[in-house]
Structure 1
Amino acid sequence: MTLDQLVALTLGATLVACALAVLAVRAYTAGRAQRRELEARLSASPSDPVAGARRFAGLDRRLRATRWGRRLEHRLAATGLDVTVGEFTVYVLALVTGLWVVAQSLLAAFFGPLAALLGLWGAATFLSWQRAKRIERFIGQLPELARLLANGTQAGLALRTAIPLAAEEMDAPAGEELGKVSDALALGHSLDDALGELAERLPSRELVVLVTTLVLSNRAGGQVVGSLRNLTDTLEQRKETRREVKTQLSQVMMTAYAVPLIGLTVLFLMDRAGSGVLDRMTSTFAGQAAVVIAFGLYAVGFLVIRRMSRIDV
């Protein structure tokens, strides 16, 4: 073989390798795009409108590209609210602005920033409350969930098959969360990873026990039916205990919310008693410091009462 033939053969092999590499990259890119499209379609709720029809879609895309936006998206997903990151951000900004203007006009200019901070704290508290409320509802459905999974496995179904069937039978939030687990399994995720993501979205002791039971039974190939039957009875007892504790602590919870309301009521009474009293009080550094300290003490009292009334069952 001459040198020219060797060069031609090398060039031909190089061109063929480059062509195959381009085809491989195109196939990989197309596969990745199809997977992202499938994940987005499966993660969307059937009742949601088209993504392009949502309000503030451009702002939502920009925010979700940031670390803070992804964290907020995760928190919103845990609450079950039908709101995007962009919509929630705009609503919170509108609330903060409104509270600033109202507090500045009704009380004094000094109370505008304090009201804005109170609005931000209220938005974060609202998300935590919605998440806790969703977790409580999910915990209340856990006995029925364990019973459905036990019936499915007793009928000879695998856990991967019993979970989608249970998702169709149960109401929200358990039905929605099991639907997400079923979608993750359909995308090729392992049962351990899918159930682990569920436990991260809705953290609770009861759910951790259920997930651990399912994962260990699936790994070891043990008797799932007997474990789920025993777990169902335990979850029923814990459900009744949590209900009794919540009833006993309802008055304490009302006291925790009444403490800061007393402080706000006193401010309005002072402003109505004498026109311009709050303006004169907050015009000096001593008055501003007294107001900040008073608000801080009310916040500390609220947190202390909430902490004392928090009993883990």
Structure 2
Amino acid sequence: MDNLALLTIGVTLLCCVLGVCGVHVYSSGKAQRAALVDRLSSTGHITMAGGRRRRFAGFDRRLRGTGLGKKIEVRLSATGLDLTPGEFFVYMVALIAGLWLIAQSLLAAFFGPIFGLVGLWTAFSFLSWQRQKRIEKFINQLPELSRILANATQAGLALRTALSMAAEELEAPAGEELSKVADALAVGHSIDEALGELQDRLPSRELIVLVTTLVLSSRAGGAVVGSLRNLTETLEERKETRREVRTQLSQVNMTAYAVPVMGVGAMLLTDKVLPGAIDRMTSTFMGQAAVVVSLGLYALGLIIIRRMSKIDV
């Protein structure tokens, strides 16, 4: 009996020691995981290159775990903006609330939800505009990128080394994007995968041609220097053509945005001339339907003008 009691006490003490060790390991592992998430998501009290501290760190961490947060993160990664998904979401909500309150105070309560939707559309349109702007800048740098790769390849450097050298010499956004490609190659990704991710982030016909040339040359070899030289000249010609087309269509694009602004301005002017006219108009179903139809026609006109002025070069 004495031996059984001692054995029971010993087993109990051993279980307690193992339980304390397990709790300690679990807590330390959880703390390390939280620190790793903070580093990877660039949140918390980390100071960025520009000296700015991230805001809404806790909310940003929770938002990244949702589907909406992941979609916003993908959109932001293609724009080059120094924003986290949490910051963008908070700013977007503030914009929607501000436009909602302004519309209610200046026009009528009926326009609050409409201007809230306009704020939501504006926020995501801003991301699309920034992404397109970054793509345009990258396309303008493609001739120089192709020239650097041709010179490096002619000097006997491997394609991986040439890409790393181009990432150091070129400015943003090409330098930043090629740095991501070089980092992907450094951790074991193939050239096809790394360049394919670059093509997904910044899709364009010029980049597709360059990526295809580099991938084929890495697979089958061949006169990659001559191909890159010819591609450089072609990209320079396309760059000038795109600039001419953009200049010719600038007036049309300005008209597409000026017409809706004139319509909203005319509505505000009417309310100033006849105080309370918008309130009386939106107090009935027919007036509300007329406003919705007119705004829909303005939006349709904007879309049609943008589609007609969109020329792929």
Query: What band does the TM-score fall into relative to the shorter chain?
Result: 0.7 to 0.9
User: How many pairs are equivalent?
Assistant: 278
1:253 counterpart letter in structure 2: N
What does 1:145-160 correspond to in 2, within 5 Å? 145-160=145-160
Separation in structure 1 between the aligned mates of residue 163 and residue 200 of structure 2, nearest angstrom: 18
Aligned to 1:300: 300
What does 1:165-204 correspond to in 2, within 5 Å? 165-204=165-204
Cα RMSD of the aligned pairs, angstroms, is 2.2
2:196 aligned with 1:162, yes or no?
no
1:283 counterpart letter in structure 2: S
What does 1:111-122 correspond to in 2, within 5 Å? 111-122=111-122
Q: Gaps spanning 5+ residues in structure 1: where?
A: 1-28
2:246 aligned with 1:246, yes or no?
yes
TM-score (norm: length of structure 2): 0.85
Q: Gaps spanning 5+ residues in structure 2: where?
A: 1-28
Separation in structure 2 between the aligned mates of residue 177 and residue 258 of structure 1, nearest angstrom: 35
Separation in structure 2 between the aligned mates of residue 308 and residue 270 of structure 1, nearest angstrom: 32
Separation in structure 2 between the aligned mates of residue 177 and residue 158 of structure 1, nearest angstrom: 19
What does 1:251-266 correspond to in 2, within 5 Å? 251-266=251-266
Separation in structure 1 between the aligned mates of residue 303 and residue 271 of structure 2, nearest angstrom: 27
Separation in structure 1 between the aligned mates of residue 302 and residue 259 of structure 2, nearest angstrom: 7
2:47/2:54 contact within 8 Å kept: no
Offset from partner CA, 1:110-169 (integer Å, 9 cap, x none): 011111000001111111110110000000000000000111111111011111111110
Aligned to 1:66: 66
Separation in structure 2 between the aligned mates of residue 71 and residue 212 of structure 1, nearest angstrom: 28
2:223 counterpart letter in structure 1: Q
Instruction: Report the alpha carbon displacement of residue 40 of structure 1 after superposing the two structures with TM.
Output: 3.5
Aligned to 1:17: none
Offset from partner CA, 1:193-219 (integer Å, 9 cap, x none): 000000000000000110011001101
SS where residue 79 of structure 1 aligns?
coil
SS where residue 275 of structure 2 aligns?
coil
Pick closer, same or farther for the CA change 1:74–1:106 going to 2, 3 Å.
same
Instruction: Report the alpha carbon displacement of residue 45 of structure 1 after superposing the two structures with TM.
Output: 11
Aligned to 1:311: 311
Instruction: Report the alpha carbon displacement of residue 41 of structure 1 after superposing the two structures with TM.
Output: 9.0
SS where residue 189 of structure 2 aligns?
coil
Offset from partner CA, 1:241-270 (integer Å, 9 cap, x none): 101100111110111011110111011111
2:57/2:86 contact within 8 Å kept: yes
**Bigger relative contact order (CA 8 A; separation at least 6):** 1
2:140 aligned with 1:140, yes or no?
yes
What does 1:206-221 correspond to in 2, within 5 Å? 206-221=206-221
Pick closer, same or farther for the CA change 1:57–1:98 going to 2, 3 Å.
same
Instruction: Work out which of the residue numbers 47, 50, 69 in structure 1 matches 2:49.
Output: 47
Separation in structure 1 between the aligned mates of residue 71 and residue 213 of structure 2, nearest angstrom: 29
Aligned to 2:284: 284
1:204 counterpart letter in structure 2: S
Aligned to 2:100: 100
Separation in structure 2 between the aligned mates of residue 169 and residue 222 of structure 1, nearest angstrom: 26
Instruction: Report the alpha carbon displacement of residue 296 of structure 1 after superposing the two structures with TM.
Output: 0.3
Separation in structure 2 between the aligned mates of residue 79 and residue 312 of structure 1, nearest angstrom: 21
Pick closer, same or farther for the CA change 1:40–1:189 going to 2, 3 Å.
farther
Pick closer, same or farther for the CA change 1:41–1:57 going to 2, 3 Å.
closer
Pick closer, same or farther for the CA change 1:217–1:41 going to 2, 3 Å.
farther
Pick closer, same or farther for the CA change 1:46–1:183 going to 2, 3 Å.
farther
Separation in structure 2 between the aligned mates of residue 41 and residue 192 of structure 1, nearest angstrom: 26
Instruction: Report the alpha carbon displacement of residue 47 of structure 1 after superposing the two structures with TM.
Output: 1.8
Instruction: Report the alpha carbon displacement of residue 223 of structure 1 after superposing the two structures with TM.
Output: 2.1
Instruction: Report the alpha carbon displacement of residue 275 of structure 1 after superposing the two structures with TM.
Output: 1.1
Pick closer, same or farther for the CA change 1:46–1:206 going to 2, 3 Å.
farther
Q: Detail structure 1 runs of 4+ shifted over 6 Å in the superposition.
A: none
Instruction: Report the alpha carbon displacement of residue 62 of structure 1 after superposing the two structures with TM.
Output: 1.1
2:92 counterpart letter in structure 1: V
2:223 aligned with 1:223, yes or no?
yes
